[in-house]
Amino acid sequence: MRKINKLLSLLLVGLLICGVLASCGGSDSRSDRDDDDKNGHGNGDTVTTAGRPDSVVPDHDHTWSEWKITAEPTCSEEGSSTRTCSCGATENQPIAKTEHTEGEWVVVTKPTTTSSGKKALLCAVCGEQMDEMIFEMDAKWVYETDALGYYFGHASVDGDYRDVILDSYGDVFYATADGEEIEIYANGYFISTLGSVQYLKKADGTVVCSTESLGITGFGLTENYDEYTQFLRDGYIFAYNIVETYADSTFQIGILGTDGKWIAPLSEDNPIITSGAQYSTSIFNKHSYEYAGDGILFVNANLSGYSYDYLLYNIKTNEIHRLTPDTSAPNLDYMVTIASFQNGVSYGTYSSKLYIIQSDGSVTVQSSVAQSGFAIQTDSAGNYYTINNGAIYRNGELYVELDFTVTGAKCVGDNWLIFIKNPSGAYFYAYLTTDGEFLFEPVATTATYICDESGVGVSYSSGYVQADGTKLVIDTDGNVLYTSTQNKAYIYVNNGVVCEQVKGAFSSTETYTFLNK
């Protein structure tokens, strides 16, 4: 009996322990399921929690936060925004790209005389092309080029035609003010007139000085445009001042540099005036001088009263000299008009005679058929070279005999650009040194005019140097860089730009071809 009671007691204890365990836990507990429902989870929801892997939790109705931008949109990329649930779940959605912002129109393709150009409108933010337009070359006229990549012309600016400075691509670099006119342009400087004031300006329009700032009457302009262009190109500017009184007129002459500083100060005692030259008091409005380069000026003095006489004025020394030939020089007045000084000496041929004019006014005349030629070269030692048909002469003596006939030559640096005619009448071009050596093997051509990259050229046609016929532009290796498309055209080259104009039609539209593009 005591054994049975003991077994019953152990059985009751076991049942009690099982009941306690059942009430403390278990996945099927009703109370646990009720708690899950209160938290809003449904069956099988996936949530992301920081610092541990995703886990599967029962489904529930999410409680979302406000959308938060996590990446701002741009005109090139979408943005994004995110919201989260208290359970750790997240949702993402894209934000549309923004609109492009209009920037500048840029030239994609430059127009030519035979094809249109294209411009593109780019977004100011991302640079993407928004639009495009086709455009034609503006009408332009070119009057003077320089060695700096600029040239003076006339072009349409905002629908109004005015004087402009163009860059080497034919684009407007500087446009004059309303009513302003450019009188002379050369090598990055120009003289213009606006009202009663004349200005010396740089190519970008920067004012160097003016007649108003200097207190003078005017800058000298002559009837011969080419003369004054060369004068300005060498860095010289005439300046004059006139004081009128009831009793007399006082006339002063001076010469400025392109920096606006006096080279020969404004004075009544300028040698041109005191020399007694007939036109000294009107040198700026009459063609009474010839500029020969290198700071040398020939003044038409007419000292004898019945024939033309010339005085040589040296700007660098501010001195004037009478021309004194060593023998009879009947053509000296003509040689003065074509004189070209380099290192203080000018060489020129006329009627089988060589004229050598020094900067001190002394003139040497040498009579020899050997002196005549197409072009005269000089070297650093003071020797001069002429080329005449089949020979090169140095200082008047035979130097090199050529086995070909030269029908045209022009000095290009230290060499000659030449035309050669062979026995059967075919023409060739080449560069020739003063020693008679070719820089490249002569190239056959049917062109009537050849010029180099700088625009220096030579023609074998009779008459006008730009006569009807094909023209070529070559480099120092003999490569043809450009062939003219119009037979009746005037062409010249400036810093890789070929300008072409129909002969004689000076008011017609210029055309441009860019050798460096």
In a domain, 118, yes or no: yes
Percent of the chain whose pLDDT exceeds 90: 24
DSSP letter string, 25-54: --TT-HHHHHHHHHTT-EEEEEE--TTS--
0.75 exceeded by the pTM? no
pLDDT for 156-186, tens place per residue?
Answer: 777 677 889 987 667 889 999 988 999 889 8
- pLDDT of 70 strictly over 50: yes
pLDDT for 118-140, tens place per residue?
Answer: 889 999 888 889 999 887 656 56
CA distances from 475 to 412, 439, 454, 490, 505 (A): 11, 11, 9, 19, 28
- pLDDT of 154 strictly over 60: yes
Q: State residue 351's pLDDT score.
A: 76
> Sorting pLDDT into bands at 50, 70 and 90, what band is 315?
very high
Q: State residue 483's pLDDT score.
A: 87
- pLDDT of 262 strictly over 90: yes
In a domain, 148, yes or no: no
DSSP letter string, 366-414: EE-GGG--S-EEE-TTS-EEEEETTEEEETTEEEEE-SSEEEEEEEETT
pLDDT for 479-495, tens place per residue?
Answer: 998 888 776 777 777 66
Q: Which of 303, 314, 301, 293 is nearest to 362 (CA)?
A: 314
* Per-residue buried b or exposed e for 200-220, using 16+ beta carbons within 10 Å of the residue's own CB: bbebebeebbbbeebebbbbb
Q: Is 472 exposed, middle or buried (0-12, 13-18, 19+ CB in 10 A)?
A: buried
Q: State residue 10's pLDDT score.
A: 52
In a domain, 36, yes or no: no
Mean pLDDT score, 432-457: 90
- pLDDT of 45 strictly over 80: no
In a domain, 121, yes or no: yes
> Sorting pLDDT into bands at 50, 70 and 90, what band is 192?
very high
In a domain, 142, yes or no: no
Separation between Cα atoms, residue 308 and residue 362, nearest integer Å:
17
Q: Which domain does 112 fall in, by range?
A: 102-135
Percent of the chain whose pLDDT exceeds 70: 74
State the DSSP code for 506.
T
If you search the block for the tokens 């007691």, which residue do you land on? 9
Q: State residue 506's pLDDT score.
A: 44
Query: What's the structural domain count of the chain?
Result: 1
Q: State residue 175's pLDDT score.
A: 93
Residue with the larger pLDDT of the pair 91 and 491: 91
Helix (H/G/I), strand (E/B), else coil: 308:
coil
Residue with the larger pLDDT of the pair 15 and 161: 161
- pLDDT of 49 strictly over 80: no
Mean pLDDT score, 60-84: 89
Q: State residue 106's pLDDT score.
A: 86
CA distances from 54 to 44, 45, 46, 88, 156 (A): 12, 10, 7, 10, 72
Q: State residue 361's pLDDT score.
A: 93
pLDDT for 452-479, tens place per residue?
Answer: 887 888 887 644 444 567 888 998 889 9
Q: State residue 52's pLDDT score.
A: 40
Highest mean pLDDT among 34-43, 47-56, 226-235, 459-468: 226-235
Please, what is the average pLDDT of the chain? Answer: 78
In a domain, 108, yes or no: yes
Residue with the larger pLDDT of the pair 433 and 513: 433
Mean pLDDT score, 365-384: 72
In a domain, 109, yes or no: yes
In a domain, 423, yes or no: no
Mean pLDDT score, 429-447: 93
Q: State residue 35's pLDDT score.
A: 43
